Amino acid sequence: SHGYFTYDPGFMATASCQSEITYIDGDLGILLYRGYPIDQLAKDANYLEVCYLLLYGEAPTAKQFEEFQRLIMRHTMVHEQLSSFFKGYRRDAHPMAIVCGVIAGLSAFYHDPMDITDQSHRETAAHRMIAKLPTIAAMAYKYSVGQPFVYPRNDLSYAGNFLQMMFAIPCEDYKVNPIVERAMDRIFTLHADHEQNASTSTVRLAGSSGANPFACIAAGIASLWGPAHGGANEACLTMLEEIGSVDRIPEFIARAKDKDDPFRLMGFGHRVYKNFDPRATVMRDTCHEVLDDLKIEDPLLDVAMELERIALSDPYFVERKLYPNVDFYSGIVLKAVGIPSSMFTVIFALSRTVGWMSHWNEMMSDSKQKIGRPRQLYTGAPEREFRTQVKK
């Protein structure tokens, strides 16, 4: 009791919601998208197939996939005027700051004629977001390196088109490397959805007020940016670079255990998984495949592998069930394919857009849904009389 309120545990019932989209069992390390295990999808499905599954609940037939892919690829261009948004940013602005701002700005381009109570309009919003995020993400990168924006190409795959918008330059042709294309597509799939994580809950809460989907996704991008969430992949690579060599690992392990040191091992631990993050397992295999196929010797991978080995045997981590999560390996793969670390979280946001839109649509389709309104346990001052101390 705080003398004013009597603490009522029921009052603080944790906010939770119902969904048919993704299932996680943190103790067993299980992750299912619409009932399908993530490792099977990462191996046998492509990202747009997974987008269709998350949005509509069933895997597409060949005909449905062809129509969906055509629909998405034909919306990859953005309004020509949108490119002016970028010019207001300094060249060294973090791409997440740019993408967050530009996505919120899409409300001014595509929202007005949209009636979000109409399912077909919500589907169009989802298609537009899935289609345009790669274009806007690549534009943010091109802007940061002072290169001209590259238009999307409908003849390439979703991942291939993203890579060419990132790396093509007017002076020479860009050839998509199939190994890189496949790794990129798999990274998109592994990050597509993850139940009620911080950014998805942000999108749901914003959407529950009736805000337009572009503003809700911008809110989700802002939440994802934090180093405890989607920013961890960039922070993990920065940590591996700071560690630099295997012999410095013990120093960082000691810091991670030190209660007075705010340092945490980036890429380790999870709010829900108290077992191996099943995505990390797929990501680790992909990491080795890409480095072997591209014949890249990356000393950071040696540091990562040694860090994983030590952490998995150290009682501090074992007792607290701190395992590598999806962010631990994704940074190394992205670095190997030439993506700068400042773009890692942008790629996470690009991948998660389908998850955010699926949850937003699921919530908006529920006619009984009400505005989200988390309650609190008040621990402030009891009621008292105000007497000003300011001379009038």
DSSP per residue over 246-280, as a string?
Answer: GGGHHHHHHHHH-TT-----TTB--SS-SS--HHH
Nearer to ligand SDX, 188 or 268 (CB): 268
Give the Å distances, CA to CA, from 282 to 31, 277, 285, 330, 346: 12, 9, 5, 10, 20
Name the residue nearer to ligand SDX (CB basis): 128 or 194: 194
| Rounded alpha-carbon distances, angstroms, from residue 143 to 18, 90, 98, 135 | 40, 9, 9, 12
Q: Which stretch binds ligand SDX (CB under 6 A): 26-34, 171-179, 209-217, 319-327?
A: 319-327
Is 265 a binding residue for ligand SDX by CB under 6 A? The answer is yes
Tell me, residue by residue from 180 to 209, as one string, x for binding to ligand SDX by CB under 6 A and - for no binding.
Answer: --------------x--x------------
Residue placing its CB nearer to ligand SDX in the complex, 121 or 321: 321
Interface with ligand SDX (CB under 6 A), residue total 19
Residue nearest to ligand SDX (CB): 269
Q: In the complex, what is the shortest distance from the CB of residue 263 to ligand SDX, in angstroms, rounded to a whole number?
A: 8
CB 250: neighbour CB atoms within 10 A?
11
Record the tokens describing residue 184, joined without a space.
């990129």
CB 347 within 8 A of CB 334: yes
Q: Which of 29, 60, 269, 331 binds ligand SDX (CB under 6 A)?
A: 269
Write down the catalytic residue from 185, 193, 277, 327. 327
- For position 96 contacting ligand SDX by CB under 6 A, the verdict is no
**Neighbouring residues of 98: CB distance < 8 A, sequence distance ≥ 6:** 86, 89, 140, 143, 144
Candidate residues 22, 135, 189, 325; the one interacting with ligand SDX per rule CB under 6 A: 325
CB of 190 to ligand SDX, least distance (A): 9
CA distance 109 to 94: 23
Is 327 one of the catalytic residues? yes
| Among residues 232, 240, 280, 337, the one that binds ligand SDX under rule CB under 6 A | 232
Distance of alpha carbon 387 from alpha carbon 36, whole angstroms: 63
Residues with catalytic annotation?
Answer: 270, 327
Positions that interact with ligand SDX (CB under 6 A): 194, 197, 228-229, 232, 256, 264-272, 320, 322, 325, 327
